[in-house]
Amino acid sequence: MERLQKVIAAAGITSRRKAEVLISEGRVAVNGETITELGYKVKRGDLIEVDGKAIEKEDKVYFLMNKPKRTMCTSDDEFGRQTVVDLVDCRQRIFTVGRLDYDTSGVIILTNDGDFANEIIHPRYHIPKVYNLTINGILTPEDMKKIKTGIVLDDGIKTLPAKYRITEKDTEKNQCSFDLTIVEGRNRQIKRMMEALGYEVRRLHRSKLAFLHCSDLRQGEYRVLKPFEVKQLRSLAQKGEMKQR
């Protein structure tokens, strides 16, 4: 059994929070009975109506995209900029699992499954993410140590230990490229980590999320995740949570 507001949101009618408002306003009925209790649970086969109209449960969809630069990870943008959702041909109301900055490219998942999304992006699940980046300057041994032990960000929070692999040092251009693996997903985390060390990120690309990569997709291209991939991602999240207990 599932909470009524969760089922309404999963049907793509509205968000879970707005679904709670609909229930509180007495606009939702289950099997002909008006429900105003937010904790009410429904079972498979129950007839759910919103404003007298029966809802249809949406199939869950999962997409993997190679996000292009200069796109937003939102459903719409007030300034009219292109969003990654615009690039996907899908009738369901989908959203990104986490976000990449406007000028960042790489692996991004889109879905209409809120529970799945939370399992992937929440820091406690420790899903690894690999980024390829170029910074101005050359990493010092001291900075390398800080990356491995944790960096205190501008909000006072210390990041979890990360891994890195230097791929190129260019002393003439005074820049350094490397792969950085993190298991968190804090807002603008990579750029904030580098800013805390005194560097500016010149290029940023997410090459992997767990075992998923986008090397076979051109920027803007996407594919449907296979069922075993979705299952494996959930399994990784569960293992990550168990380690924290």
- The Cα–Cα gap between 93 and 111 comes to 8
pLDDT at residue number 30: 95
User: Has this prediction a pTM greater than 0.75?
Assistant: yes
Domain 128-209 has CATH 3.30.70.1560: yes
Contact yes or no for 201/190 (Cβ under 8 A): yes
Per-residue model confidence as pLDDT tens digits over 8-49: 887 777 878 899 999 999 999 999 999 999 989 998 788 999
Do the domains spanning 2-54 and 62-123+216-243 agree at the CATH topology level?
no
Residue 244: which pLDDT band, with cuts at 50, 70 and 90? low
pLDDT over 60 at 243, yes or no: no
Average pLDDT, the chain: 92
Residue positions annotated with a catalytic role: 101
CA-closest candidate to residue 109, choices 84, 92, 132: 84
Per-residue model confidence as pLDDT tens digits over 79-136: 999 999 999 999 888 999 999 999 999 999 999 888 888 888 887 888 999 999 999 9
pLDDT over 80 at 240, yes or no: no
Per-residue model confidence as pLDDT tens digits over 205-226: 999 999 999 999 999 999 999 9
pLDDT at residue number 6: 84
The CATH H-level superfamily of 2-54 is RNA-binding S4 domain (3.10.290.10)
Buried-exposed string 105-118: b where 16+ CB fall within 10 A, e elsewhere: bbbbbbbbbbebbe
Domain 62-123+216-243 has CATH 3.30.70.580: yes
- Domain borders along the chain are 2-54, 62-123+216-243, 128-209
pLDDT over 60 at 242, yes or no: no
Q: What percent of the chain has pLDDT over 70?
A: 98
Q: What angle do CA 101, 156, 198 make, to 5 degrees?
A: 60
